[in-house]
Amino acid sequence: MKNVTENKETPNESRCFALASNDLLCRPSVIEPFYKDESVTLYYGDSKDVLPHIQTPIDLTVTSPPYDNIRTYDGFDFDFEAIARSLYAVTPQGGVVVWNVADQHQNGSETGTSFKQALYFKEIGFNLHDTMIYSKPCFAFPESTRYHQTFEYMFVFSKGKPKTINLLKDRKNIHSGAIVHGALRQTDGTLKHSNGAKNKKQYQEYGHRFNVWTLAHNNNKERGFHPATMPLALARDHILSWSSKGDTILDPFAGSGTTLLAAKNLGCKAIGIEISKDYCQITVERLKQMTLGF
Ligand SMILES: C[S@@+](CC[C@H](N)C(=O)[O-])C[C@H]1O[C@@H](n2cnc3c(N)ncnc32)[C@H](O)[C@@H]1O
């Protein structure tokens, strides 16, 4: 990891941690937020340094870390393993972490960083509850030797079984109203016929969503000119799926504050950490301009 304190302005606390990361006495027990309102607390600093000071149990983390070297973010870097371990520490039993990532192509190959990170999360104790896909309606860079890249991963990790599961049920069922029939293939290869026809069970109008979500990009106005924001709907729909009103939601790579805005909108508490002061400022502006409701 690059020592970001060498040539970047970082908060005093971070400088203190970076110089004496093994010296617990150097860590103030309370760190000063960059911004705070009745539901959102935003820290300006390196998540590796700030996360060990978070005392609040985090019900849900929804975050999108830097993807390889696709964006430089002003030269800032992150210590993946330290941050993953801190996320495990702040997540109580039943808590969930949504990790939205993609891989870069380097020297003709995908890096596979997303997979390595997912396996590391498993290694330190998280369950890989689901590997979901964020599908984009169009591509950012045209490809000529492979198909255009239009998706990212949304790994859903949980500490034990997720304590809150509210699967979104907004997928229009093409068989809506029809009688349920058919058969399920068993592990031994035989077919077990459903009782649906006998019981006259009908398909409902809406079914649970699939785990591939197609979401439109934010426009410049929505993202406050941050170079790589996640769609507001991505944060909103994960918060709706894996948390309840009043829960605490974290984004350790807060960027322009998308997760924080979505959490506040849904009546949750939110904690953000962002290493760039400019992006912290964008978040504050977005929060000030925000009107409740999606
Ligand atoms: C993909 S962007 C997140 C965008 C965010 N989801 C949004 O919608 O605006 C990743 C962010 O992580 C920040 N970052 C990079 N290293 C960091 C670190 N060590 N600690 C905290 N933030 C970091 C970058 O400055 C960047 O804003």
> Helix/strand/coil (H, E, C) string of 95-130?
CEEEEEECCCEECCEECCHHHHHHHHHHHCCCEEEE
Q: Which band of pLDDT confidence, cut at 50, 70 and 90, is reported for residue 178?
A: confident
- Residue with the nearest Cα to atom 13 of ligand 1? 253
Separation of CA 292 and ligand 1 centre (Å): 24
**Range(s) of the chain covered by CATH 3.40.50.150:** 30-168+209-289
Query: To test the ligand 1 pocket, which listed residue (253, 277, 286) has its Cβ within 8 A of the most ligand atoms?
Result: 253
Cβ contacts of residue 260 below 8 Å, gap of 6+? 40, 42, 249, 251, 254, 270, 272, 283, 287
Separation of CA 127 and ligand 1 centre (Å): 24
**How much is the pLDDT for 48?**
96
Q: What is the mean pLDDT of the chain?
A: 85
Separation of CA 62 and ligand 1 centre (Å): 12
As a whole number of angstroms, the distance between CA 294 and CA 292 comes to 7
Q: Which residue is listed with tokens 């430089």?
A: 72
Cβ contacts of residue 105 below 8 Å, gap of 6+? 111
**How much is the pLDDT for 17?**
35
Distance between start and end Cα atoms, the chain? 38
Cβ(230) – ligand 1 distance below 6 Å: yes
The pTM for the full model equals: 0.85
Q: Which band of pLDDT confidence, cut at 50, 70 and 90, is reported for residue 24?
A: very low
State yes or no: pLDDT of 294 exceeds 60.
Answer: yes
Query: To test the ligand 1 pocket, which listed residue (47, 50, 76) has its Cβ within 8 A of the most ligand atoms?
Result: 76
| Whether the Cβ atoms of residue 93 and residue 163 lie closer than 8 Å to each other | yes
As a whole number of angstroms, the distance between CA 176 and CA 114 comes to 37
Separation of CA 44 and ligand 1 centre (Å): 11
| Whether the Cβ atoms of residue 173 and residue 205 lie closer than 8 Å to each other | yes
Q: Which atom of ligand 1 is nearest to the CA of 252?
A: 21
What's 30-168+209-289's CATH class? alpha beta
State yes or no: pLDDT of 19 exceeds 70.
Answer: no
**How much is the pLDDT for 76?**
63
- Residue with the nearest Cα to atom 26 of ligand 1? 255
Highest mean pLDDT among 1-10, 67-76, 263-272: 263-272
Instruction: Give the amino acid at 244.
Output: S
Picking from 145-154, 220-229, 259-268, which range would have the lowest pLDDT averaged per residue? Answer: 220-229
Cβ(102) – ligand 1 distance below 6 Å: no
Longest Cα–Cα distance in the chain: 72
Q: Which band of pLDDT confidence, cut at 50, 70 and 90, is reported for residue 253?
A: very high
Q: Which band of pLDDT confidence, cut at 50, 70 and 90, is reported for residue 15?
A: very low
Cβ(279) – ligand 1 distance below 6 Å: yes
As a whole number of angstroms, the distance between CA 36 and CA 260 comes to 11
